Amino acid sequence: MSTSREYVEELLAQADIRINGNRAWDMQIHDETVFDQALSRGNLGLGESYMARLWDAESLDQFFFKLLRSGIQDEVNPARLIFHSLKSRIFNLQSQSKAWEVGQHHYDMGNDLYSAMLDERMVYTCAYWEKAKDVDEAQRHKLELCCKKLGLKPGMRVLDIGCGWGSFMQYAAENYGVECVGVTISKEQVALGEERCKGLPVEFRLQDYRELDEQFDRVISLGMFEHVGQKNYDDYMDVALRCTKEDGLFLLHTIGKNVSDTAADPWISKYIFPNGEVPSISQIGTALEEKFVCEDFHNFGADYDKTLMAWFENFDKAWPELKSQFDDEFYRMWKYYLLSCAGAFRARDIQLWQWVLSPKGRVGGYSRPQL
């Protein structure tokens, strides 16, 4: 019987990754317990071992790109990870009482971190890079694309579900003359968002989306659906429908997965986004039935790779100023988060979708606008 190390070496060879090799994506082992941790606990064991400095890779994003592109992760399905799948099936991890956990854990950890890491507008979702030279321009193009897809006109009233620091609302109010209402579960986002949008027709509400019950000309949700959870997809679409006027449009921007399994990544769920869950096309499609007509579907998931790499570059550059607020373990955790996700998008293991939806279908059809 082969040892854990021998088995991992055989697996990694299929992904062109060597143990203690001399290439940037090779895995440098500092403690042999890494192999048992990875085999018994999957990405949770691998991530915690990395945080504990038990292994390294010079180019962590390339390590994950090669790992995930090869598909070898499907050969390791430890029984202990079944618990995470069962947990999401049995319990509603995104109930109203639990929905606030991600706000407190992730978004409220400090605006200094996000101000340093993100673009000038503080957009914490995938940028649009087709004609952009840097992350500031790519995020501006994404916001402009969203406004065009929604067909915004002066005087319209727009709802932003999961509005963050108000980047979309600020852009839409300044450039399209619309009024905006945004809901978020983060106190820190409301505080900074209100400051950034001062003087604009923009309203922030510290509120769970399920409490919304008023109509808007347009509805948008950028990067919030990943926190909804499959048990709540129908309820979420019910809320979006009752808030969208009959002749209105709803733009849903979400990360997506290729297969409709229910297991959230245990490391991401524990350290980054509590109770998060990435949907599949079929799960979204089922939730849309008898509610919305899909007018447009746009996948630009490869752009998230560039976005995450830009975020890491900003974070790494700002670390000398940030490290007084965080410790070394946080740095390695955040690096692992940003670069492992970049590798996953590069490998096309996960996607980024924009859906344009209408309550009854647009008479005459809908054409996707260009920048």
Catalytic residues: 341
Looking only at the bridges linking them, the beta strands covering 293-299 and 350-358 are: antiparallel
Alpha-carbon span 264 to 209, nearest angstrom: 22
Neighbour-count burial of 269, counting CB atoms closer than 10 A to its CB (0-12 exposed, 13-18 middle, 19+ buried)? buried
The whole-angstrom separation of Cα 188 and Cα 111 is: 7
Q: CA dihedral defined by 121, 125, 130, 132, rounded to 10 degrees?
A: 20
Residue 180 CA to residue 147 CA, distance in Å, equals: 12
CB 138 within 8 A of CB 132: yes
Contact 337, 61 (CB under 8 A): no
Residue pair 222/160 in contact (Cβ under 8 Å)? The answer is yes
Helices (H), the chain: 4-14, 33-51, 60-70, 82-90, 101-102, 111-117, 135-150, 167-176, 187-196, 233-243, 266-271, 281-288, 302-322, 328-346
* Residue (of 354, 238, 224, 355) closest to 293 by Cα position: 355
Cα distance between residue 237 and residue 229, in whole Å? 12
Helix (H, G, I), strand (E, B) or coil at 364: coil
Q: Is 278:370 a contact under the CB 8 Å cutoff?
A: no
